[in-house]
Structure 1
Amino acid sequence: MAEKTLKPGLKVLLEYGPLLVFFVAFYLFKDRPVLVAGTEYKGFIVATAIFVPVLALATLVQWRLSGHLSVMQIATLVLVVAFGGLTVWLNDPTFFKMKPTLIYLLFAGALGVGLMRGKPWLKSVLGDALPMSEQGWMILTRRFVGLFLGLAVANEIVWRTMSDTAWVNFKTFGLTAIMFAFVLAQSGVISRHGISKDDDDAPRA
């Protein structure tokens, strides 16, 4: 299937829409437990049960429209289905709360292995959107490794010490805001090491 570029608005909707669905579902059912086959499921579990198929559908739509999914998207979907399924099946939110930690550690580990081999694998994910020199990609990749490790630690602290509501707010807005601020903070590296698409090696003056 040939790869296609999605419109920015549609891409954002497909990537962040499921998270907003989870957020809304949690608050809708937070104080309204659902009884299924004699078992009571609280708002967090209900929201998780809604989120998993919505994310799977959004990922499928993105693949059908763009003809491509990144390794990160595939890994995220697999972990969401696995840990979301365990959360619903065992009626225990712990598994779903641990999922971001494992995702961030997986990303940090994968990028770290690439760095040890002298290969900035982040380039394979963002290279088309951010043309940069190899030195720039090495710097940016190291910073992303640090970011993912920091996010993993932050997620562990929040879910282990705070309420379900606090974690949902942190997951929906906190992690997204941190990621957005981090990307904005990399503008200096991107500017210094950016190259034109016609030249893979020459940095801009």
Structure 2
Amino acid sequence: MAADKDINPIIKQVLELGPTVAFFLIYLRLRDDTFNLAGSEYSGFIVATLLFVPILLVAIAALWGLTGKLSRMQIFTAFMVIFFGGLTAWFNDERFFKMKTTLVYGAFAILLGIGLLRGRSYLAYVLGDVLPMRNEGWMILTRRLCAAFTLLALANEAVWRTLSTDLWVKIETFGFPIALMGFIMLQFGLLQQHMIEPGQDED
């Protein structure tokens, strides 16, 4: 198995967040346009979605080449983007791409919920090596994050079904990620007492 490689954190952030920002900027440029491709008329949103897929794949390939690894979340998200981006283009229906966000957040909530029903934290399995924390802390964080993903999935359904595409793109690009990041940062502060200091036993 190849060893993990160090990468400049700024480059890593650009590769992780860049495709989403690129989609937002492309959408702003194309949102009022229509395109005739292979005899079918496509909105600017759908063309922006089609352009987003290869941009994301290039960024993921660059991350893989620079770091020597990809997280399960990155692989799963990439699969969902490609799959629902393809459905969006095939059926010429932007609803598929909008539903993708609901299914991604919903899948995370379900996976964490399955772990909780088994008395385990799948978060600890994924992040335990980089974030030492006692099992009690992992279980608390998993329960809270499971609820957060559920709320985000429901929120996305409400947003894309009731608001304009413009608002959905803005909330999808900035609102949901900022809300999730803020929630996670708040939890780590609240769970500081469960952190394991270097050299300290888990118990």
Q: Once the 2 structures are TM-superposed, how far is the Cα of residue 6 of structure 1 from its aligned partner?
A: 3.1
The amino acid of 1:100's aligned partner reads T
Q: Once the 2 structures are TM-superposed, how far is the Cα of residue 113 of structure 1 from its aligned partner?
A: 1.1
8 Å Cα contact 1:115-1:142 kept in structure 2: yes
Calculate the aligned-residue CA RMSD, in Å: 1.4
- Unpaired runs of 5+ in structure 2? none
- Higher mean C-alpha displacement, 6-15 vs 84-93: 6-15
DSSP-derived class of the 1:186 partner: helix
CA distance in 2, matches of 1:103, 1:12: 21
DSSP-derived class of the 1:41 partner: strand
Partner of 1:164: 165
Q: Once the 2 structures are TM-superposed, how far is the Cα of residue 56 of structure 1 from its aligned partner?
A: 1.3
| Residue 116 (str. 1) matches residue 129 (str. 2) | no
Q: Once the 2 structures are TM-superposed, how far is the Cα of residue 176 of structure 1 from its aligned partner?
A: 1.3
The amino acid of 2:200's aligned partner reads D
1:79–1:33: structure 2 CA closer, same or farther, 3 Å change rule?
same
The amino acid of 1:187's aligned partner reads F
Partner of 1:68: 69
1:114–1:5: structure 2 CA closer, same or farther, 3 Å change rule?
farther
Partner of 2:25: 24
CA deviations on 1:15-64 (whole Å, 9 max, x unpaired) are 11100010001010011222222222111101100111111111121122
| Residue 15 (str. 1) matches residue 16 (str. 2) | yes
Partner of 1:57: 58
Partner of 2:4: 3
Partner of 1:186: 187
| Residue 90 (str. 1) matches residue 91 (str. 2) | yes
Partner of 2:79: 78
The amino acid of 2:43's aligned partner reads K
CA distance in 2, matches of 1:48, 1:178: 23
> What TM-score does the superposition give when structure 1 sets the normalisation length?
0.93
Partner of 1:174: 175
The amino acid of 1:38's aligned partner reads G
Q: Once the 2 structures are TM-superposed, how far is the Cα of residue 200 of structure 1 from its aligned partner?
A: 5.1
The amino acid of 1:151's aligned partner reads L
- Unpaired runs of 5+ in structure 1? none
CA deviations on 1:138-163 (whole Å, 9 max, x unpaired) are 11111110010000000000000011
Aligned positions, number: 202
1:5–1:136: structure 2 CA closer, same or farther, 3 Å change rule?
farther
CA distance in 2, matches of 1:185, 1:18: 26
- Higher mean C-alpha displacement, 163-172 vs 64-73: 64-73
- Higher mean C-alpha displacement, 175-184 vs 18-27: 175-184
> What TM-score does the superposition give when structure 2 sets the normalisation length?
0.93
The equivalences for 1:133-148 within 5 A come to: 133-148=134-149
